[in-house]
Structure 1
Amino acid sequence: MTSTATTTEGKKARPAKRDPEGVRRDILAVAMEEFSQNGLSGARIDEIAARTKTSKRMIYYYFGDKEGLYQHVLEEAYSKVRGGESDLALDHLDPMAALDALCRYTFEHHRRSPAFIRMVMIENIHHGRHVQMSKSIRSLNRPAIAALEAVLKRGQDSGVFREGIEALELHWQISALSFFNVSNAPTFSSIFGEDLFTPQAQQTLARHVAVMVLRYVVRPEHIDAIGSDER
C-alpha cells in the first residue's frame, strides 16, 4: 500500500515506492487464490488488481497477459513443492528413511496446499497446455525424479530395496496417493463422512501411505525393518 507522509511545513511528501519484487509476490499469491477458486476463464484480473492495490496495467507489465499470469502462478506452485523436496536433503538419509520422508512430505504438502491441487486439476482440464509451454516446470520436475532414482539406487545397492522399480512410476504412485486425498475430499466426505479428514486421521493416512510405499519397495527379508505402521 502506498503511503503519503506530511512534512512539518504541512506539505505532503511523495508516495513511498513499493518494492517491485514484493508487488510481484503479492500478485502471484492473490492470483493463486483467484485462479484456483475460479479457473483460468473465471478468474478476474480486476479482482486481483483490487486485492493487491495495483492496477491491470501493472499486472500486465509484470506478466504479459492473463494467461501469462496463470502460467507464472503454475510455475510458482511447482517451484514451492520441488523446493520443499530439496530441503529434505534425502541424500543425507538412509534409503528407507529417505523414502519415508519423501512420502510424508508429499502427503503433507498436498494436504496443506489445496490451491496447488486445484491448480493442477484446472491445468489438466486445459490438457496440460501451459505446463507443456513452460520450460521451467519441466526443469523443476526432472531433479525430483533424479533424486528418487538416487534413493532407489542406494537402497538397491545396499540390498534393502527390490530391483526393477522405476523412479518415475514410484513418483506417480506417491503422487496419486497424496493427490486423491485432496482432489476428492469434497465428494468422498459427502458420501462417507468426515472421519478420514480430521487432523489425527490425516496424520494416520500420511503414515500409512509411507508404509504402503515402503512395503512395496523393500525386499521381503527387510520388511520387519519398516516397523509398525502405528509408529
Structure 2
Amino acid sequence: MTTDIADTDRVDETGDAESGLRAGQRRVKQRDRTTKTRDDILLVAREEFAANGLSGARVDAIAERTRTSKRMIYYHFSSKEGLYLAVLEHAYADIRKVEAELRLADGDPVDAMRRLIGFTFDYDEANPDFIRLVTIENIHRASHMRQSSSLGRLNTSIIDTIAAILRRGQETGVFRREVDPIDLHMLISSFCFFRISNRHTFGHIFGRDLGEATMRGRHRVLLQDAVIALLRDPHAAGTAREGA
C-alpha cells in the first residue's frame, strides 16, 4: 500500500513537472510573439514616420501593414507620440549597436579612425530613413528626445569610442593635437548627414549625383583623408583661422 502511494506521488510530481514545462513553453512562445509584434510595428512605423513625418504619419496605415490594430499599437506604445519616440530610440540603438561590433578600442588608431569614418559614411548612405527621422526631430527641436530616459546614455558610447582612439593616437605620437571628441563626431557626422539630407537640392544646384558610385567612393576617402590630416597636423586649425 505504501508503494502504491509513493508511485502515485511520483506520477503527480511528474505530471506537475510536465504541466509546468508546458506552461513555461507557452510563456516563452507568447513572449516571442509579443517581441516580434513589437519589432514589426517599430519597423513599419520607422518607414511611415520617415516618409510622412510625425504629423503626417497614420497609425491606421501602420496597423494595416503589420496586420494588427490601433488598439494593439497603443497597448505597446501608449500613443502615436510614444510610438514615434520608440522609433527614435530604436533607430539610435541600431547604429550604436553596429558601431560597437566594429571593436575599435584596440589596434592602430589611424586604421580605427578610418574604419569609424567609413562605417558612418556607409551607414548613412544605406539608411536614408534614419537621416529623415533625425531631420524631423530637429524640426520639432528635439522635444520628443527630451522625454527619453535612454537616448542620452545610449549615445555616449560613440563619444567614448572616439575619445579612446584619439587618446591612443596621442599616446603613440600619431595624433599630435588634442581634439574634442564631440567636435570630431560632429565633423564626421555632418559630412555624412549632409550628403543624404541635401542630396537632391545640392545635386540639382551643382549638377552632381551624390549617389553615383564613383563620387560616393571619392567622398568617402576625402572625408577619411581630411580627418586624419586634421588630427596629424597641429597647425591645421590655426591655418584655417588665419585664412578666414
Pairwise same-fold verdict (TM > 0.5): yes
**One-letter code aligned to 1:22:** K
For the residue of structure 2 that corresponds to 1:19, the secondary structure is helix
Name the counterpart of 1:111: 125
Alpha-carbon distance in 1 for matches of 2:83, 2:208: 35
Work out whether 1:146 is the aligned partner of 2:146: no
Select 2:38's aligned residue among 6, 24, 27: 24
**One-letter code aligned to 1:201:** M
Aligned Cα root-mean-square deviation (Å): 1.5
Given that residues 63 and 73 in structure 2 are in contact (C-alpha distance below 8 angstroms), is that contact kept between their aligned partners in structure 1?
Answer: yes
In terms of mean alpha carbon deviation, does 134-143 or 107-116 score higher? Answer: 134-143
Which one has the bigger helix percentage? 2
Name the counterpart of 1:223: none
Q: Percent same amino acid at aligned positions? A: 45
Select 2:211's aligned residue among 197, 200, 218: 197
For the residue of structure 1 that corresponds to 2:145, the secondary structure is helix
Select 1:183's aligned residue among 159, 178, 197: 197
For the residue of structure 2 that corresponds to 1:173, the secondary structure is helix
Name the counterpart of 1:54: 68
Name the counterpart of 1:4: none
Name the counterpart of 1:86: 100
For the residue of structure 1 that corresponds to 2:105, the secondary structure is helix
**One-letter code aligned to 1:170:** L
Alpha-carbon distance in 1 for matches of 2:70, 2:34: 15
Instruction: Give the TM-score of the pair, scaled to structure 1.
Output: 0.85
Name the counterpart of 2:172: 158
**One-letter code aligned to 2:139:** I
Given that residues 195 and 210 in structure 2 are in contact (C-alpha distance below 8 angstroms), is that contact kept between their aligned partners in structure 1?
Answer: no
Alpha-carbon distance in 1 for matches of 2:90, 2:222: 29
Alpha-carbon distance in 2 for matches of 1:120, 1:195: 23
Query: What number of residue pairs does the alignment pair up?
Result: 205
Alpha-carbon distance in 2 for matches of 1:169, 1:120: 18
Shift of 1:194: 4.1
Name the counterpart of 1:208: 222
Work out whether 1:135 is the aligned partner of 2:149: yes
Name the counterpart of 1:97: 111
Cα distance change on mapping 1:155 and 1:134 into 2, 3 Å = same
Structure 1 segments (4+ residues) deviating >6 Å: none
Given that residues 24 and 62 in structure 1 are in contact (C-alpha distance below 8 angstroms), is that contact kept between their aligned partners in structure 2?
Answer: yes
In terms of mean alpha carbon deviation, does 64-73 or 80-89 score higher? Answer: 80-89
Given that residues 160 and 219 in structure 1 are in contact (C-alpha distance below 8 angstroms), is that contact kept between their aligned partners in structure 2?
Answer: no
**One-letter code aligned to 1:112:** A
Structure label with greater radius of gyration: 2
Given that residues 96 and 214 in structure 1 are in contact (C-alpha distance below 8 angstroms), is that contact kept between their aligned partners in structure 2?
Answer: yes
Alpha-carbon distance in 2 for matches of 1:23, 1:194: 42
Shift of 1:49: 0.1
Alpha-carbon distance in 2 for matches of 1:185, 1:93: 35
**One-letter code aligned to 2:137:** E
Alignment deviations for residues 41-98 of structure 1 (CA, whole Å, 9 cap, x no partner): 1100000000000000000001110000000000011011111111110013310001
Alignment deviations for residues 144-185 of structure 1 (CA, whole Å, 9 cap, x no partner): 101110100000011110222111100010010110000000
